[in-house]
């Protein structure tokens, strides 16, 4: 009896993706520098653009960066402050700057970006005022450019020093991409960064990937608040899982897939960000939970915390869509409306009892609604 050939049979052609040779990373902070290191180790020609001449000089002359202190970067990264030089010859461009700067930076690179060159967003958030995801912002400014995102559980230093790390690369798939997925921008970006320690996965659900990245920072602040207030692992686990449900709800409302949120860019990134004060979001929450005033957090230094900004835009978006995100709402109320931290979470824990499966329509009063949790 003849059996069909195995998918792994040696005589069967294997589809391969062609990497992008020249990769430019815009943003010379910790994650941008780490991505430059990953691309360089994967064999790419890498340019790293930034604004601080001291940082750029340190990368070029010493192979190090103050954003990753004590870590030797691989040889072959060229740091520059010249945007035209950085973007003009690039085969792929990664934007690794705060979410609030994405629109401006896209406008700045537009004159230098060659047709068809993909732009990969590594900023996570929802634009204030418009309620647009970062990919929607970029698409408005760069309408003829393929736009995607790279997201996942990735602390910069660990990835840069070669710890095993995985992330998701997401782009919308065209009809041609579905016929030949190995030729899609997502697949080509994945092989451009894949190495012995860095494992990318490919997704066609850009919305789901972006929502996970935006909302997880807000949930991480909630976890930090409760940790700083003296609560332990049960509380954090509950916030992570129920926070992930809020991420699923928002993703679905925007046209993404709930299942995407269970992957690296959702559950993976959420778990990491909610588990360590290496995350500035978690660290801010811990300090606020300990009763430290916002102006005194981080020893009074002006540290940008994405979840603090995104708490506003995420809740504005949720309200416009008519969806309920109670944990994000609690964080927003504490950060931006002066609500009492412990009282706000006490109210959340005593909110009406609901069913976990969406198919079961149930809401009943909590028996201790007026008692709250321990203060």
Cα–Cα dist 140/170, whole Å: 18
Q: Annotated catalytic residue: which of 124, 216, 248, 342?
A: 216
CB 117 within 8 A of CB 189: no
Cα–Cα dist 25/50, whole Å: 9
CB 141 within 8 A of CB 257: no
Please say if 248 is a catalytic residue. no
HEC letters along the chain = CCCCCCCCCCCCCCCCCCCCCEEEEECCCHHHHHHHHHHHHCCCEEEEECCCHHHHHHHHHHCCCCCCCCCCCCCCEEEECCHHHHHHCCCEEEECCCHHHHHHHHHHHCCCCCCCCCEEECCCCECCCCCCEHHHHHHHHCCCCCEEEEECCCCHHHHHCCCCEEEEEECCCCHHHHHCHHHCHHHHHHHHHCCCCEEEEEECCHHHHHHHHHHHHHHHHHHHHHHHCCCCHHHHHHHHHHHHHHHHHHHHHCCCCHHHHHCHHHHHHHHHHCCCCCCHHHHHHHHHHCCCCHHHHHHHCCCCCHHHHHHHHHHHHHHHHCCCCHHHHHHHHHHHCCCCHHHHHHHHHCCCEECCCCCCCCEECCCCCCCCCCC
Cα–Cα dist 307/39, whole Å: 27
Catalytic residue numbers read 216
């Amino acid at each position: 009896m003849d059996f069909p050939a195995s998918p792994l049979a040696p005589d069967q052609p294997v589809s391969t993706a062609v990497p992008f040779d020249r990769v430019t990373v815009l943003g010379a902070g910790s994650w941008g520098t780490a991505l430059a290191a990953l691309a360089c180790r994967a064999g790419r020609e890498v340019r790293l653009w930034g604004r601080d001449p001291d940082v750029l000089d340190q990368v070029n002359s010493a192979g190090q960066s103050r954003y990753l202190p004590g870590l030797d970067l691989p040889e072959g990264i060229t740091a520059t402050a010249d945007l035209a030089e950085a973007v003009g010859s690039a085969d792929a461009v990664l934007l690794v700057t705060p979410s609030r700067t994405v629109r401006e930076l896209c406008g700045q690179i537009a004159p230098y970006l060659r047709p068809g060159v993909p732009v990969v967003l590594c900023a996570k958030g929802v634009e204030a005022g418009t309620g647009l995801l970062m990919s929607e912002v970029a698409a408005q400014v760069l309408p003829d450019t393929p736009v995607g995102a790279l997201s996942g559980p990735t602390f910069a230093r660990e990835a840069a020093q070669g710890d095993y790390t995985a992330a998701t690369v997401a782009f919308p798939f065209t009809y041609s991409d579905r016929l030949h997925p190995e030729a899609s921008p997502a697949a080509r970006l994945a092989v451009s960064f894949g190495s012995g320690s860095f494992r990318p996965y490919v997704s066609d659900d850009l919305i789901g990937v972006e929502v996970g990245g935006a909302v997880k920072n807000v949930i991480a602040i909630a976890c930090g608040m409760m940790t700083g207030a003296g609560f332990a692992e049960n509380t954090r686990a509950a916030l992570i899982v129920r926070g992930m449900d809020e991420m699923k709800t928002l993703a679905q409302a925007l046209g993404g897939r709930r299942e995407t949120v269970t992957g690296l860019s959702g559950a993976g990134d959420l778990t990491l960000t909610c588990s360590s004060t290496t995350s500035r979001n978690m660290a801010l929450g811990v300090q606020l939970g300990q009763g430290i005033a916002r102006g005194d957090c981080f020893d009074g230094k002006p540290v940008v915390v994405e979840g603090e900004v995104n708490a506003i835009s995420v809740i504005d978006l949720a309200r416009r869509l008519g969806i309920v995100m109670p944990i994000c709402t609690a964080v927003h109320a504490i950060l931006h409306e002066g609500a009492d931290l412990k009282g706000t979470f006490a109210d959340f824990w005593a909110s009406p009892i609901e069913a976990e499966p969406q198919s079961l329509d149930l809401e009943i009063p909590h028996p201790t609604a007026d008692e709250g949790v321990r203060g």
